[in-house]
Structure 1
Amino acid sequence: MAGAGTDGTGRRGRSSRPLLAAVAIDSLGTGLYLPLSLLYFLRVTDLDLSTIGLLVSVATALTLPVPLAVGRLVDRLGPRPVVAGGQALQGTGFLLYPTVSGAASLVAAVLVTTVGLRIYWSSVFTLIADHADAEGVDAKDHWFARTGMMRETGAGGGALLAGLLLTADSTRVYDGLVLGSALAFLAAALLVVFAVPSAPHAPPPAGAHVGLRALLRDRPYLALIGTCTIFALCSTFLTLSLPVYVVQGLSGPSWAPGPLLALNTLLLATCTAAYNRFVRRHCTRARAMAWAGGLWVLWCAASAAAVLLPSKALVPYLVAVVMCYTIAEMTYGPSSNALAAAAAPAGSRGTYLAAFQYSFACSSIVAPSLFGLLFSQNRLLPWLAVGLLATLGGVLMLRLEHRLPPEHRTPEHQGGTQDAVPERAE
C-alpha cells in the first residue's frame, strides 16, 4: 500500500525535494558562518569583544517586533514569497559584512541579516505546513521531521567545512566563508522562487476574527507558546552548557565537547524522521512533548550525576547522556511544530506560527544569562533549574492538551492522525 500522502508513484518525494533542498542550502549558509560568529568582527574591526557583543545584542533586540508583522504578511500573500525575501535579505546582509569597519557599519550589517533571519523563521514553518496539508493524513509531523533533518545536515556540514578552513587563520578565509554564506542564502531564495511548487493557503472562514486580534484572544494558543518557551530553554541548553560544563565543571578533556555535539547533530540529521513515525504510532503530539520533557529531566539528572564518576568513565557516560538529550529533541521538535501548525486557525496560520517563534527567540535571549548566572554560583544549579523547568513544561502540556484542537485517529490507526478543525475551549 502506498504511504499516506502519496499516490504510489513517488509524487510526494518529487514535490518535496525542492523545499527540502532550499532548507538544507539555507542551513548550510548558517553553518558556514556559525564558527566565525563574533570572531569575524574581532578580526576586521578595532572593536573589543564586549563592545561587539553589545552591538550585536542591540541589533538583534531591534528585530524582535518583526515576526508579528511578517505573520500578517504571510496570511495575505502566502508564505513562499516571504520565505524567499527573508533568505535574500540574509544574503544581502552577509554581502555587507566585508564592508564593516566600525560600530555603525557593524550594526547595519547585523541588522539587515537578522531582519532577514526573523522573516525566514517567521514564514518557513507556514510554507512547510501548507505543503504538508496537500498530502492529507498525518503529513505535518513527517514534513517537520524531514525538514529538521535537512537543517541539521546543512548546518552541520557547513560548520564542519568552516572549521576545517579556519585552520588556515587567514583574513581571506574569513571573507570567503562570509561570501559563501551570502551565496548559500541567495541560492536558497532562488530555489524557493523558481523550484518550490505553490501550495494551497487556506483563506479565513467568513466573519472570523483573524490575525493578531484573533491570536491575542486565543488563550490556549498563548499558553502553548508559553509552555513551548519553557521547552525551548531545555532545547538550547546542550550547545550552550556542554563545553563549559565538561571542561570547567567536570575537569574533562577539552577535545570531548566537539565529538559529543557532532554525535547529537549526526543523530538528528539521520534518525529524526524514522523515530517520529514511531512516536506518532504511540501517542498524541501533546503527550509526545510531555514525554520529551520527561527525557530532559532525565538528561539533567544524568548530567548532574556525572560529577560522581571517575575520569576514565566520563566520556562514555557523556555519550549516553547526549543520546538521552537527542531523543528528547527528536521527540519534541516535529511534534511541537506540527501541533502549533495544526492548532492555528485557517487564515491566521502565518500570524500564529510567527508568534510561535517567540518561544525560541525568548529562550535564546534568556538561556545564556541563566546558565552563566547559575553556573557561576554552583556547577549543578543549571541542571536543577532546567530539570524543574522541564518538569513544569511536561505537566503544563498534559493539562493543555484538552484545550487544543483534538487529534482524530484514522480508522486503521497505522501511525496516522488527521488534524481537526480548530475548536478551542476559551
Structure 2
Amino acid sequence: MFDRAVLSKKGTVPLVVALAVDMIGSGLFMPVSLLYFTAVSRIPLTSVGLLMSAATIATLPVPVLIGYLADRWNPRDLVLVAQVLQAAGFAAYRWADGPVPILVVVVVVAVGQRVFWSSFFTLVAGLAPPGEERRLNDQRFALVGTVQAAATGLGALVGGLVLVDASVSAYRLVASANAVSFAVSAVLLTLVPRGAGQQPEAARAAATGSYRVLLRDRPYLLLIVANTVFALCSVMVGIAVPVSIVEGAPSLKWLIGPLLAVNALLLATGQGFVVRWARPLSRVRAMAVAGGLWVLWSVAFAAALRVPPVVLLPYLLISMLFYAGADLLHAPISNALAAAAAPEHVRGRYLAVFQYCFTIANIAAPTFFTALYARGAALPWIVLGILTAAATAAMYLLEKRLPAEEEEPVKAMSV
C-alpha cells in the first residue's frame, strides 16, 4: 500500500507509532467525552457543553502563535509539548469537581490539541528531504491519515464498551488511560530526530518571515477558503446524515451506524490506494475531483426525499460512495498540498493557519445544518452543494496560480 521509501525515512516509524498511541487513547475517550463530568462531578450536560465550547473558543488564537514558533523553533518539540499538556490535563480530570476546575483542565487539554494539530503537519512535511518525489510525501500524509483513522476507530470501539458499565470508576479509568497514552506518545516522539521538520536554511530564513507573507499570498488564501468548504462537507457527514435518515426515513435508522462505520473503515484502509490512483493528477486537480464528488453527494441527499421507499436503501448506499471517494482523496492530499504550496521558511505559519479550515468547519457545521434544516429538509444539502461547487471551481482557478513546481503531475513509477 505504501512505498518502503516512505517508512525507511528516519523518524517516520516512531512518529507514526506515537500518533497511533495518541489516537487510540483519544478514540477511547471519545464516546464518554461529553458524559464524563456529568457522571463524575454531577454537572448538568448543558453546563458541560458550554464549558467545552468556551474552552474551544479560548484556544482559537493558539495556532497563530504556534505557527510562528514552528518556523523559528523545532516542530518536533512543539508536538512533544502538546502531548505533555494533554497528558497533564487528562491526569487532572479526576480532581476536577466544579465548573472552574473543569474549565481549567478542559482548556489545558484544548490548548494541547491546538498545539498538536498546529505543528504536527509541519513535522510530517519536514520529513521529506529536498528534491523528494512528490508522490512519496503524498503517501506519507496518507499513512498518517490511515493510522489516525484506524487507531481512533479502534479506541472508540473499546471506549464504547465503557458506556455499558457507565460507572464513575470506569469513566476515571478511561481518562487515566488517555493520559497514559499521551505520555507514552511523548516518550516515543523523543525517538524522532530533533532536526526533523525543518531545514537549517529555512530556520534561519524564518527569523525574517512574518504572517504578512501569508496575507499577501492570495492563491493560498483562496485555497484556505475553498478547503474550509470541503472541511464542512467532511464534518457534515456525522451531523446531517443521521438526522436526515432518522427524520426522512425512520425505518432505515438502523443504517446510520453501518454507514458511518464503513466510511471510517474505508478512510482507515483506502488512503494509500487512492493516493496511488491519483498520482498522475496534480494535487489541485485531485482536490477538485474530491469537490465534484461532494457536490454529487449533496445533490443525491437533497433528492433523497423524492426517492421511492422501495429503492431508498441502495440509493443511500450508492450516495455515500460519493462521500467516501471524496473523503479518501481530500484527507491526505489537502494537507500535502497545503505543505507543498507554502514557502519553506514560513511553512509552520501557513500550515497552522490552514488548520483553521477544520476548526471553522467544526464550529459552523451544527448551526449551518440546523438553521437551514428548519426551513426545509433538502435546503442544507442544496446550499452545501452550491458552496462546494463554488469551492471546486476555485480549485480549478488555483491550478496555475499555486507554485508550478509543486503542481506538475508526475508519471507513474514502478514499485
For the superposition of Structure 1 and Structure 2, which TM-score range results when normalised by the shorter chain?
A: over 0.9
Q: What is the 5 A alignment of 1:10-409?
A: 11-12=8-9, 15-133=11-129, 136-138=132-134, 139-195=136-192, 198-199=195-196, 201-202=198-199, 203-204=201-202, 210-281=209-280, 283-311=281-309, 313-407=311-405
- Structure 1 window deviating more from structure 2 (186-195 vs 292-301): it is 186-195
1:135, CA displacement in angstroms? 7.6
- Structure 1 window deviating more from structure 2 (315-324 vs 120-129): it is 315-324
1:410, CA displacement in angstroms? 8.1
Which residue identity lines up with residue 36 of structure 1 in the other structure? V
What is the SS of the residue equivalent to 1:254?
Answer: helix
Which residue identity lines up with residue 92 of structure 2 in the other structure? L
Paired residues of 1:280 and 1:415 also in contact (CA < 8 A): no
What is the SS of the residue equivalent to 2:32?
Answer: coil
Which digits, 9 at most, give the CA deviation of each residue in 1:199-239, with x for residues without a partner? 26133476995132322222222221112111111111111
1:15, CA displacement in angstroms? 4.7
Q: Classify 1:163/1:217 alpha carbon distance in 2 versus 1 (closer, same or farther; 3 Å).
A: same
Q: Distance in 2 between matches of 1:408 and 1:165?
A: 46
What is the SS of the residue equivalent to 2:31?
Answer: coil
Which residue identity lines up with residue 328 of structure 2 in the other structure? M
Paired residues of 1:145 and 1:273 also in contact (CA < 8 A): yes
What is the SS of the residue equivalent to 1:348?
Answer: helix
Q: Distance in 1 between matches of 2:209 and 2:288?
A: 29
Paired residues of 2:206 and 2:346 also in contact (CA < 8 A): no
Paired residues of 2:303 and 2:378 also in contact (CA < 8 A): no
Q: Classify 1:252/1:280 alpha carbon distance in 2 versus 1 (closer, same or farther; 3 Å).
A: farther
1:134, CA displacement in angstroms? 5.8
Which digits, 9 at most, give the CA deviation of each residue in 1:75-119, with x for residues without a partner? 112211101111111111111222221110111011000000000
Which digits, 9 at most, give the CA deviation of each residue in 1:12-33, with x for residues without a partner? 4x75221111121111122111
Q: Distance in 2 between matches of 1:135 and 1:257?
A: 45
Which digits, 9 at most, give the CA deviation of each residue in 1:9-52, with x for residues without a partner? x734x752211111211111221111112111221233322222
Paired residues of 2:279 and 2:409 also in contact (CA < 8 A): no
1:290, CA displacement in angstroms? 0.9
Paired residues of 2:138 and 2:275 also in contact (CA < 8 A): yes
RMSD: 2.3
Q: Distance in 1 between matches of 2:261 and 2:365?
A: 21
Q: Classify 1:133/1:240 alpha carbon distance in 2 versus 1 (closer, same or farther; 3 Å).
A: farther
Q: Distance in 1 between matches of 2:216 and 2:409?
A: 34
- Structure 1 window deviating more from structure 2 (268-277 vs 131-140): it is 131-140
Q: Tell me the TM-score normalised to structure 1 length.
A: 0.90
Q: Distance in 1 between matches of 2:309 and 2:347?
A: 50
Paired residues of 2:297 and 2:319 also in contact (CA < 8 A): yes
Paired residues of 2:55 and 2:107 also in contact (CA < 8 A): yes
Q: Tell me the TM-score normalised to structure 2 length.
A: 0.92
Q: Classify 1:317/1:140 alpha carbon distance in 2 versus 1 (closer, same or farther; 3 Å).
A: same
Q: Distance in 1 between matches of 2:399 and 2:372?
A: 32
Paired residues of 1:284 and 1:407 also in contact (CA < 8 A): no
Q: Distance in 1 between matches of 2:313 and 2:131?
A: 44
Q: Distance in 1 between matches of 2:243 and 2:113?
A: 27
Unaligned runs of 5+ in 1: 417-426
Q: Distance in 2 between matches of 1:312 and 1:197?
A: 59
Paired residues of 1:290 and 1:397 also in contact (CA < 8 A): yes
Paired residues of 1:23 and 1:150 also in contact (CA < 8 A): yes
Which digits, 9 at most, give the CA deviation of each residue in 1:371-419, with x for residues without a partner? 1111222211111111111101100111122211014688971269xxx
Which residue identity lines up with residue 216 of structure 1 in the other structure? L
Q: Distance in 2 between matches of 1:128 and 1:182?
A: 23
Which residue identity lines up with residue 21 of structure 1 in the other structure? V
- Structure 1 window deviating more from structure 2 (216-225 vs 383-392): it is 216-225
1:262, CA displacement in angstroms? 0.7
The share of aligned pairs that are identical, in percent, is 42
- Structure 1 window deviating more from structure 2 (215-224 vs 72-81): it is 215-224
Q: Distance in 1 between matches of 2:365 and 2:268?
A: 24
Which digits, 9 at most, give the CA deviation of each residue in 1:288-332, with x for residues without a partner? 111111100111112223223444543433232222211101111
Alignment partner, residue 424 of structure 1: none
Unaligned runs of 5+ in 2: none
